[in-house]
Structure 1
Amino acid sequence: MIGKLPSGKYRVRVKHRGKVVAPKSFVRLRDAQRWEDEQRRRIDLGVWVDPRRGERLVADVASEWLASRRGQVSSSTWTTDKHFVTHLTPTLGNLPIGQVTRARVESALGELISAGRARSSVQRLAAVLSGIFGYAVREQIIVSNPCAGVRVPPGAGKPPRSVSPLSRDELHDVVAAQRAFSLSGAAVTLFLGLTGLRWGELRSLRVADVQQAPVPAVRISVSPSDGHAEKVPRGRRRRLVPLVPEAWSIVEPLLDGRSPRDYVFTSPQGDQLNESNWKRSVRWESTAMGAECTIFGTRSPIWCCRAAST
């Protein structure tokens, strides 16, 4: 039903089962008729959603979505999602969720690319947005997901960083410098460099994961980040990493008197290793070839690399 108001606007009142479910005003009669037809079409198809529910802010729905994911995803994934949700407000967070269109999403992502944000970060944000709007569809807050089919523009991006692994001699030079500050910390550096283990894999290594026969090796089955629960390694594949004699000579003495569930590498206090504390103990910034040598942690199995000259 469409009626004309004293102001000259057209008032639409869509009824369903004798109840007004969707009132809205328009300046033009044509727009009012089109909107009324669309609401009735959705009611007939059984996909109608009260437009008033779409007046909720994106930021509020995002907070609900985030709360619904707690315990459903890993703690590290949830923390990453939370980080991106907190950055929604400047772009889309203060908008009514029902007013967000695909064009507006693409525009917001394009602005981030133009501002110099890494494309990988913008892609992650796009995935978070899609999850939020998908949740809104399931909860019948909006009819469709405006992120469906959205593509992140390529942008200029940053040139790929060229790296090369440290040679054995360079690795031993680093370890020799670190031994002046911490023998146990330097041993961790050497073991990482000889095996290529990720930081999370080394810190979660237990006595039961070490074998001597038929060949010395360690079994990698979990790879937690600092402060997060243990999880399967990247790619969800467990693997056996053989140990060269030098690596075995590091780990063998650490097994004596330990129970199978004990961690192999621990802090001086016997706690599980923490990356920041370990780096401090070996004076990482001053001993590891300065800024040219870095630890890639869980991002690369090639642990100790230096930037190649350009």
Structure 2
Amino acid sequence: MADIDDRWHRTGPDGKPERTDRYGIGARWLVRWRDPDGRQRKKSFRRKVDAEQYATTIEHGLLSGTYIAPDAGKIMVEEWATKWLDAQAHVKPTTLNRSAGIVRTHILPTWGKFRLSDITHAAVQSWVGELSRALSPASVAKVHRVLSLILAWGVRNDRLAKNPAEGVNLPRVVAPEHRYLSHRQVADLADACDMDGLVVLFLAYTGLRWGEMAALRVHRVDLDRRRVLVAESVTEVSGRLVWGTPKNHERRSVPLPRFVAELLGKHLVDKVAEGLVFTAPQGGVLRVRNFRRAVFNRAVAEVGPVGFHPHELRHTAASLAIASGADVKIVQQMLGHKSATMTLDQYGHLFPDRLNEIADRMDAAVCAPNVART
């Protein structure tokens, strides 16, 4: 428990207080307590009412398990953010690299020299407003999220009582409109890519992410069953290739249309089981930037649509699958989404509208001869 001591007021020969606070004023009231580790702590106050309020806060924290040491939040944000980044070994290298860039570019210039406990909700809200004048709403949300994660880590490690970044009003993010190619447009784009057209067809009819396609090995292609096992991914981070598991760390089996399987079978002749299915012209991993610069951008300029990106072939795969009658669970498995909700959030508008169908069925049931009328 916290005790208040009023005997800490002593005077010297000159009649002035022997003990003073940082302003040179006699500090009469002293709050003493033991923290959860058994260490003796104390804090002085000039007014009894302030000491009593502080003692109440300390006692509540000790009893409820929410105690925060007075000096715990004095660590600088710069140091704490570095510690937080060092603790992110569980995230994907691309995610870690993106977070480090946000810390370096947006968080440290503003908050680096602040103590963790000095950050207020109002200050974070003001900072978000400044960011909104320079960045897109989606970018503001990403930057705010990193700061919020850093501060939340402070709460979990008993450095802060609460996260001042929680509840901040963010600019509204408008989801971008996805572009979807038709079967004819996919064929035209593949033809324009010439010898690399199979890459376009493969992405447009399987929905694999680029890193999953680039890491695919021959022995994970089952041409008899027309299945591809997605078990690995490769990503370029700061010019360095990083190998790992697919997003969400889950393997999945993806179906191959028959015509893609036939083309893939010809492509795999003479390839070793452990070899990569798709490689760069000189061998090795097929990197998306090199592919765009050497092949894809020229083909897009020739047949369109303007500015089309290889990742949009993944959206196209979802669109073509749904148009072919695939339900949401099949599309979820095919794309490797964490949940069907995520699939519906992105592609729900592509599924057929069955509202009238449901209404017609209920109408038919009510109008059946054996239904009593009122």
| Structure 1 match to 2:231 | 221
Distance change >3 Å, CA 166–CA 298, structure 1 → 2: closer
> Distance between the aligned counterparts of 2:257 and 2:27, measured in 1?
79
What is the identity, as a one-letter code, of the residue corresponding to 1:74? K
The answer (yes or no) to whether the contact 2:210–2:311 under 8 Å persists in 1 is yes
Q: Distance in 1 between matches of 2:70 and 2:313?
A: 44
Match of 1:21 among 23, 34, 41: 41
SS at match of 1:14: strand
Question: Matched residues in 2 for 1:120 and 1:88: separation?
Answer: 16
Correspondence for 1:80: 98
Runs of 4+ in structure 1 off by over 6 angstroms are none
Q: Against the structure 1 CA distance between its residues 200 and 7, is the aligned structure 2 distance closer, same or farther, given a 3 Å change threshold? A: same
Deviation at 1:24, TM superposition (A): 5.7
State the Cα distance separating 1:296 from its structure 2 match. 5.0
In the TM superposition, 1:191-270 aligns within 5 A as 191-214=202-225, 216-226=226-236, 227-233=241-247, 236=250, 238-245=252-259, 247-270=260-283
Distance 1:50 1:137, change over 3 A: same
Alpha-carbon separation, structure 2, partners of 1:92 and 1:257: 57
How much has 1:8 moved relative to structure 2? Answer: 4.3
Classify the secondary structure of the residue corresponding to 2:229.
Answer: strand
C-alpha contact 1:206 1:261 (8 A) present in aligned 2: yes
Q: Is the 8 A contact 2:29 2:48 kept in 1?
A: no
Give the CA deviation at 1:75. Answer: 1.8
Structure 2 CA distance for partners of 1:206 and 1:244, relative to 1, 3 Å: same
Change in Cα spacing, 1:81 to 1:242, as seen in structure 2 (3 Å) is same
Contact (CA 8 Å) 2:229, 2:251: kept in 1 or not? no
Q: Distance in 1 between matches of 2:178 and 2:68?
A: 53
> Match of 1:55?
74
1:175 — aligned with what? 190
Judged with a 3 Å threshold, the aligned counterparts in structure 2 of structure 1 residues 153 and 166 are, in CA distance, closer, same or farther, namely same
Unaligned 5+ runs, structure 1: 306-310
So what's the TM-score if we normalise by structure 2? 0.65
Q: Indicate if the aligned counterparts of 2:204 and 2:314 stay in contact, CA closer than 8 A.
A: no
SS at match of 1:21: strand
Structure (1 or 2) with the larger CA radius of gyration: 2
* Secondary structure at the counterpart of residue 243 of structure 2: coil
Match of 2:366 in 1: none
SS of alignment partner, residue 258 of structure 1: coil
Q: What do the CA deviations read for 1:275-305 (whole angstroms, capped 9, x no partner)? A: 11112221x3332136724225399442699
Where 2:281 maps in the other structure, the secondary structure is coil
Partner SS, residue 188 of structure 1: helix
Q: Size of the alignment, in residue pairs? A: 292
**Cα distance, 1:33 vs. partner?**
4.5
1:294 corresponds, among 287, 308, 311, to: 308
CA contact (8 A) 2:31 2:51 kept: no
- Per-residue CA deviation, residues 93-134 of structure 1 (Å, 9 max, x unaligned), is 32111122334334433443x325344444434443343223
Alignment partner, residue 171 of structure 2: 155
Cα RMSD of the aligned pairs, angstroms, is 3.5
- Give the equivalent residue in structure 2 for 1:278: 291
Aligned to 1:225, what secondary structure does the other structure show?
Answer: strand
Measure, in 2, the Cα distance between the counterparts of 1:251 and 1:234.
27
Secondary structure at the residue paired with 1:288? helix
In structure 1, C-alpha distance between the alignment counterparts of 2:102 and 2:300, rounded to whole Å: 33
Partner secondary structure for residue 159 of structure 2:
coil
Counterpart AA for 1:155: P
Q: Which letter maps to 1:292?
A: V
Residue 231 (structure 1) shift: 1.4
- Structure 1 residues 143, 170: closer, same or farther in 2, change over 3 A? closer
C-alpha contact (below 8 Å) 1:51/1:142 kept by paired residues: no
Q: Contact 2:179–2:316 at 8 Å: present in 1 too? A: no
State the alpha-carbon separation in 1 of the partners of residues 40 and 245 from structure 2: 52
Q: How far does the alpha carbon of each residue in 1:228-275 deviate from its partner, in whole angstroms, 9 at most, with x for none?
A: 322134594613222231x23431123223332211111122212111
- The DSSP-based 3-state class of the residue aligned with 1:61 is helix
1:115 maps to 2:133: yes
Unaligned 5+ runs, structure 2 = 10-16, 320-374
Amino acid at match of 2:102: F
Q: CA 1:157–1:232 in structure 2 vs 1: closer, same or farther (change >3 Å)?
A: closer
1:136-174 superposed Cα distances (whole Å, 9 cap, x missing partner): 234333334334xx235252545x433432233333333
Cα pair distance change 1:43/1:294, threshold 3 Å: same
Q: Among the aligned pairs, what percent are the same residue?
A: 26
